[in-house]
Structure 1
Amino acid sequence: MLRWLLVILLALIVFNGLSAWLHRIGLGRLPGDFHFKLGGRQWHLPLASAVLLSFLAMLIGKFV
């Protein structure tokens, strides 16, 4: 279980570092990515981007 927590933490750090680059190529602005303001805070739910990244990761895992 500790291994999975480390993998998730490492993935979050990598995606956080790449977020500006991913936003520049259009991820986070796809139809299905929701942005709304609630309680004076800006919230982002990138559902379509998450599905697309999961699909790409599946394809890479399948061919590697």
Structure 2
Amino acid sequence: MQEIGRFLIILSVVIGLFGLLLFFSGKIPYFGRLPGDIVVERKNFTLYIPIVSSIILSIIISLILNLIKK
């Protein structure tokens, strides 16, 4: 039962951090505009594919979860 409680706490912290990241992402000027992120601008739409930003975010989340796990 303690395992489930610990999992739920960690999950809520991760979701909260993700929410904060989304909230402040407009105020971080370089996030989503790193070299390797793809931007396609057409007449009717703009498509953002943040490949490098996603990789960096994944590495950071993995490091945080590994630190919490130990």
**1:57 counterpart SS class:** helix
Q: Mark the runs of 5 or more structure 1 residues left unpaired by the alignment.
A: 1-6
TM-score (normalised: structure 1): 0.66
Alignment of 1:1-64 (within 5 A): 14=19, 15-22=21-28, 24=29, 26-38=30-42, 40-64=44-68
TM-score (normalised: structure 2): 0.61
Q: Mark the runs of 5 or more structure 2 residues left unpaired by the alignment.
A: 1-11
Asked which structure has the greater CA Rg, the reply is 2
Q: Structure 1 runs of 4+ off > 4 angstroms? A: none
User: In the comparison of the two structures, how many residue pairs are matched?
Assistant: 53
Specify which structure has the higher proportion of strand: 1
Instruction: Quote the Cα distance in structure 2 between the aligned partners of 1:61 and 1:46.
Output: 22
Q: Which amino acid aligns with 2:52?
A: A
